[in-house]
A and B are shown apart, each in its own frame.
Chain A
């Protein structure tokens, strides 16, 4: 399996979550203190790296590959289908798009209050830490599952995730405002598509399904989910689709 594809998947997934975490960290920095915002985010990243570093080798060492592939595949299917479904709903207008600017304003309003701007602020630290840890936990699971399914997988999945954190952090430092113009839904769509396809392939392999030409089947699996998604978006955009009949 192409390592670059794994790295690209974790890069996109991490970038999406990092943009969301950055919004909170910026809100903490501007309303509470930069020291608490940055240290909270830093400790959040350390916690996530520890989870991956401890669980990754343990999973690969103790779980047999066939069982691991089914477990990994099922987890990726759960994440992938959820991301893909939300992206389809947002693309079709049935769910509001993620608005980083509005989320930023909400956090600023919540965090506003008297504070020592230069010192360490507990509320700011905890908010920043929680944002990074919670947004990153899903990514940590994706990095773990994607990385454990193939040899040298952690190098690729971890590399993609770390690169995304560096890119988003660097861009955040340069711009110092929420990324309202990032095509977040398109990125979520791509990640959902890739996670669902990897999950399908690996679950099938774990169950003993012989894919045509082995891993090359990933291409038609991605294509099948992509076509189905685009057709679904088209139908979902109609005011009353026949598929809505009977839904609440």
Chain B
């Protein structure tokens, strides 16, 4: 899988970054709803998604 594509879907310093962060937020909103807003692991998942996006962004175009 191309990391640049993955990055475009998650977050970062690219033209598609706003879309990426929006996708991450909408995903987390869905996770929070599934977890009935009471599961602390939802936060861990959110952080993990953003870290994957950050790492992918570093290897984008390099």
Q: Residue A84 at the B interface, CB < 8 A?
A: yes
B61 touches A248 (CB 8 A): yes
Q: Is the interface of B mostly helix, strand, loop or mixed?
A: helix
Q: Which residue of B lies closest to A220 (CB)?
A: B47
B59 touches A81 (CB 8 A): no
A246 touches B2 (CB 8 A): yes
Q: Residue B42 at the A interface, CB < 8 A?
A: yes
Interface contact tally, CB-CB below 8 A:
111
Q: Which residue of B lies closest to A217 (CB)?
A: B43
A228 touches B54 (CB 8 A): yes
Q: How far is the CA of A225 from the CA of B51 in the complex (A)?
A: 7
Q: Which residue of B lies closest to A82 (CB)?
A: B13
Residues on B with C-beta less than 8 A from A207 are 25, 28-29, 32
Name B17's contact: one of A78, A210, A221 (CB within 8 Å). A78
Q: Which of A205-224 contact B (CB under 8 A)?
A: 207-212, 217, 221, 224
Q: How many residues of chain B are within 8 Å of chain A by beta carbon?
A: 36
Q: How far is the CA of A208 from the CA of B42 in the complex (A)?
A: 10
Q: Which of B23-40 contact A (CB under 8 A)?
A: 24-25, 28-29, 32-33, 37-40
A204 touches B28 (CB 8 A): yes
Residues on A with C-beta less than 8 A from B24 are 77
Task: Show the binding face of A for B, using Cβ within 8 Å.
Answer: 70, 74, 77-78, 81-82, 84-86, 88-89, 92, 94, 196, 200, 203-204, 207-212, 217, 221, 224-225, 228-229, 232, 236, 241, 243-244, 246-248
Q: List 23 A-B contacts (CB under 8 A).
A: A78-B18, A81-B13, A85-B54, A85-B57, A89-B58, A89-B62, A94-B58, A200-B46, A200-B47, A203-B46, A204-B42, A207-B32, A208-B33, A208-B37, A209-B28, A209-B42, A210-B43, A221-B47, A228-B55, A229-B54, A243-B59, A244-B62, A248-B61
